[in-house]
Amino acid sequence: MLESIVQRGRTATQRNRALSMLGINHSLDKARIGFDESERANRQALRELRRTEQRPVVKAVLGGTKQRTIFSAGNTQKLPGTVVRTEGSAATNDVAVNEAYDYMGNTYDFYWEIFNRDSIDDAGMGLDGTVHYGKDYDNAFWDGKRMIYGDGDGEQFERFTKSVDVIGHELTHGVTQNEAGLIYWKQAGAVNEHISDVFGSLVKQYVNRQTADQADWLIGAGLFTPNVHGVAIRSMKAPGTAYDDPVLGKDPQPAHMKHYVNTLSDSGGVHINSGIPNKAFYLASVNIGGNAWEKAGLIWYQTLTEQLPVPGLSDLIKRTTQFIPFAQATVLVAQYLYGGNSLEAQAVHAGWSEVGIFV
C-alpha cells in the first residue's frame, strides 16, 4: 500500500509521508530478521524440551494474569514513551490508549483461554504498547519487544488501535518469534504473515463469539477512512478483493498458487502471497464448521508450537519453512489430533488443494 501511495498520492505531503514510513518499515523488517537469528538457539532448545516432555495440552495451574502497560510517544518516534495506563487502572479520556489496553487484553485472554498460553512468550511476559507513534503514521507493528501504534493520516487511514484483529495479528508476530522463528522473507515470511492473520482473525471471532460461517474474515475492517474504496486491508475469504482505490491501488493478494507473485519488494511479497495460505485456512475452517478457533485454530497453533509429539513435524517446521512443508505439517497435526480419515484432516487437506498447494 505504501508503495502505491508514493506513486499515486494526491499531494506531495502524502507521498513524502509514505516514503518516510517505507524507510521505517524496512528497518523494522531487518530488525525482525536479526532478532530471530539471535534467539534461534533458545527457541530450538525449548521446542526440543517440549517434544521430549510430550506435555499434554491441559490447563495450567499458574498464569492467566495480564500485565499491560500503555505508553504514549506523543507523536514522536521516541520509544517507549510516557506511561499513560497500567494494569488494572481506570480508563482514560484517550480512546487510542483504551483501545490498545482492551484489545491487547482480548488477545492475551484468547491465547490463555483457548490454548493455555501465558502471554507472548508463554511465560507471562508483560504486554507493552506505545500509542501516538510518529505523526500521521500509517501502521501498527510488533518491534520484537512491544506493540507500536500510529494514529493514521486521517486521509486514508484511521488510528491503528481501532481493530482488535490488527492488534491480535501484530502480537502474534511475537508468538511466532518465540516459537518457529520464521524468517521474514519470501514464502517463509508469507507463512509468518499468514499465521498472524489467522490468529488476528480468530481473536476477533472469539471476542465477537462468531462461528466460521458468521465471521467476515476481513483483516483491518474499519481502518480505512470514507475516502478509500475498500472494506479492509486484507480478506482471508476472498484475497484480492479487500480494496480497489485510486491512491492505494488494487488489493494485490492472490488466492491461488497459479497467481503467486514473484517480487523483491515487501520482503519478497510477505503481505501479498500470504493470501494463498489465508484462503486455505478459511476453507478448512468453514468446512469443519463451528468456532474456527476450536479445531482449525488448534491445528495451526499446534503446528506452530510443536507441543505434540507428531512424527515428522520437527522436520517440516523450521525458520525457512515454505508453503508446502507448512501445509504438510498442518495435515499431520490434523491427522494426529482427529484421525487420518476425519472430517478435520480432510478439510485441511482440501483447503490446501483448493489453493494449489498439494500435499
Query: Which pairing describes strands 234-235 and 218-219: parallel, antiparallel, or unpaired?
Result: antiparallel
Q: Which residues contact 247 (CB under 8 A, 6 or more apart)?
A: 4, 5, 8, 9, 10, 14, 156, 228
Residue 192 burial (CB count, 10 A): 27
Q: How far apart are CA 303 and CA 101, in angstroms?
A: 29
Q: How far apart are CA 14 and CA 5, in angstroms?
A: 7
Rg (CA), the chain: 19
Strand-pairing partners, residue 72, are 82, 131
Catalytic residue among 170, 179, 193, 344: 170
Q: How far apart are CA 68 and CA 324, in angstroms?
A: 37
Tell me, rounded to whole angstroms, the distance of Cα 256 from its chain centroid: 20
Is 194 catalytic? The answer is: no
Alpha helices in the chain (DSSP H): 2-8, 12-38, 40-53, 95-115, 164-178, 186-208, 266-269, 275-288, 296-305, 313-316, 323-338, 343-354
Catalytic residue among 132, 169, 173, 271: 271
| Omega prior to 309 cis, within 30 of 0 | no
Distances (CA, A) of 212 to 45, 208, 310: 35, 11, 26
For helices 164-178 and 12-38, the axis angle rounded to 10 degrees is: 30
Q: How far apart are CA 145 and CA 165, in angstroms?
A: 19
Alpha helices in 209-295 (DSSP H): 266-269, 275-288
Considering only CA atoms, which of 323, 308, 332 is closest in space to residue 115?
Answer: 308
Q: Are 178 and 109 within 8 A, CB to CB?
A: no
Is 37 catalytic? The answer is: no
Task: Return the active site residues.
Answer: 170, 271
